[in-house]
Amino acid sequence: MFEGFESAQIDVGEASVFVRFGGDGPPVVLLHGHPRTSATWHRVAPLLVGAGHTVVCPDLRGYGRSRGPRFTADHAGYSKRAVAGDVVAVMRHLGHHRFAVVGHDRGGSVALRLALDRPGAVSQVVFADCLPLTEHLSRITVEFATQWWHWFFFAQPDIPERVITADPDSWYQGDPEVMGQENYDEWRQATRNADVVRAMLEDYRAGLTIDRQHEQADRAARTRIACPALVLWSLRDDLEDLYGDPRAIWSRWADDVRGHGIDCGHHVAEQAPEALTSALTGFLQPDPSRT
């Protein structure tokens, strides 16, 4: 995987972030979702490099080979604001002060926080298979609760760790033929690590508590995304079935919203890398303010 890319473990203060990076040109950072690692981008990243971009793929705080701080009752160490700070620190370490952001699934929540908290750093933002957390929570239906029950299970203290670590291969099911063997092996190693499992749960616990509060504060302050936003969703996943056109919801948060569905399941980077890359390269035009 990632032929021609470099990798590093970067100390960003209270966290240590594993990152892969390569290419030359306008920088774009790719943020994975749960329970993946940066390896999920192994088919997309080289295509973006070939299209003329510098590509940076970190493991989110606590996921994969990245490590975060000790766990606390308020879950602040695993808030999307904290993880967004990691991304800015990593990009600055690599020499990039303004960049595009692509966030899939939980990575989309980090991308949102970046766009709202660090508008000077984010030139364009892409949200793939995600909505703001508060938009999900304000639309809870029987269908949502049935299909997304894991959000609320993960929020429980202690029990999810015990259930998941008892048999992680049964809980986290992956297919090496779909994922690619090396990606699968990296993912499987991560999900069998009890510290990684706990950190991934803290991501969800933060989502229902401190992250929700941050988004509510944004709405009260009428804070909006300043840069262009591309919204992509998987046609064989449930986002459109639950909510209709996701662009309509994202328009509550940004003025410049465009996008479309892609014919694949939830893990678009693994299942439809060419279609995803085509959508990204059509959107990620050179940023005129980049220096």
- Using an 8 Å Cβ cutoff, are 59 and 65 in contact? yes
170 burial type by CB count under 10 A (0-12 exposed, 13-18 middle, 19+ buried): exposed
**Torsional sign, CA 152, 155, 156, 160:** positive
Three-state secondary structure call for residue 283 = helix
Closest CA to 36 of 134, 133, 136, 103: 103
Q: Residue 50 is encoded by which pair of tokens?
A: 């070939």
- 229-234/122-128 β-pairing: parallel
The active-site residue out of 93, 117, 266, 287 is 266
Three-state secondary structure call for residue 122 = strand
The active-site residue out of 59, 105, 203, 211 is 105
* Cis previous bond, 168, omega within 30: no
Q: What is the spatial distance between Cα 240 and Cα 143, in angstroms, rounded to a whole number? A: 13
- Using an 8 Å Cβ cutoff, are 61 and 88 in contact? no
Residue with tokens 């705080």: 61
Q: List the beta strands (DSSP E) in the chain.
A: 6-11, 16-23, 27-31, 54-58, 99-104, 122-128, 229-234, 257-262
Residue type, 77: G
Residue 287 known to be catalytic: no
Residue 214 known to be catalytic: no
CA angle, residues 277, 150, 73, in degrees to nearest 5: 105
Q: Which residues are catalytic?
A: 105, 266
